[in-house]
Amino acid sequence: MCDTCGCNEKEGVKRIYRIQERITKSNEEIAEKNRAYFLKNGITAVNIISAPGSGKTTLLEKTIEALGDRIKIAVFEGDIETTLDAERIKNKGAFAIQLTTGGACHLDAQLVHKAIHEIEKMEEPPKLLFIENVGNLVCPASFDLGETLRAVMVSVAEGDDKPLKYPKAFKTSQVFIISKTDLLPHFDFSIEKAKEYALSLNPELKVFALSAKTGEGFDEWIAFLEELTSS
């Protein structure tokens, strides 16, 4: 018994665990349906997770500018509120759907599944789908959306120790993007340390260091996406 309120603490923990287990199982089932849809329709889905302000939307804008005339691109924009980011993407000429969570700190497979029905309204499915997750390096790492691959993004303004502080985000990703490299002269950030920390957690990570502002490192990112969508 709990000394504070008299509740059965162990039983309470069990109930919480069962609820979490049901939520996770349900999400995984829907994620598999999403994955099957992407595979069937030849869609490469990239789930991008990061802390707020790392530059996800700017990265997507520049990517659309570079690839939009050769590869059909769609974007699912995840946010707690507002449609600002989706409007930015639409202004670049890409198909965009805003997914507002209403307070939740991450997207889940069900939200993505609903957005898939909007894709079906397109004349032809996109070759490349970006899922810009809610700004957070904790919760999104625990929810499979059915994506083809997951990219974790850290800007040089955030610190090179982010991989050590948020290991699950890096262990569950296939790509690591270091953004805003044009700011390196103004911050105590080591690209080599960030890579070392990340690769110590996940040696299979593909690492990109780039600046959407100056274009530094962007050719490698674009080449990677072209190769990814060519198969």
Name which of 202, 201, 162, 200 is nearest 178 in CA terms.
162
Mean pLDDT of the chain: 90
- 23-32, 143-152, 157-166: range with lowest mean pLDDT: 23-32
Confidence of residue 162 (pLDDT cuts 50, 70, 90): very high
pLDDT digits (tens, 9 = 90+) for 82-111: 678 889 999 998 999 999 877 778 899 999
Domain boundaries, the chain: 9-230
- 9-230, CATH topology level: Rossmann fold (3.40.50)
Cα–Cα distance, 70 to 127 (Å, whole number): 10
Answer yes or no: are the C-beta atoms of 113 and 30 closer than 8 Å: yes
Total-model pTM: 0.88
Average the pLDDT over each of 8-17, 136-145, 188-197 and give the range with the smallest value. 8-17
Q: What is the pLDDT of residue 8?
A: 53
Whole-angstrom CA distances from 63 to 16, 56, 94, 221, 225 are 42, 11, 11, 9, 9
**Winning range, highest mean pLDDT, from 115-119, 139-143, 183-187:** 183-187
Considering only CA atoms, which of 139, 128, 109, 92 is closest in space to residue 28?
Answer: 109
Contact between 93 and 64 (Cβ < 8 Å): yes
Q: How confident is the model at residue 126 (pLDDT cuts 50, 70, 90)?
A: very high
**Contacting residues for 20 by C-beta, under 8 A, at least 6 apart:** none
Mean pLDDT of 120-126: 87
When pLDDT is cut at 50, 70 and 90, the band that residue 18 belongs to is: low
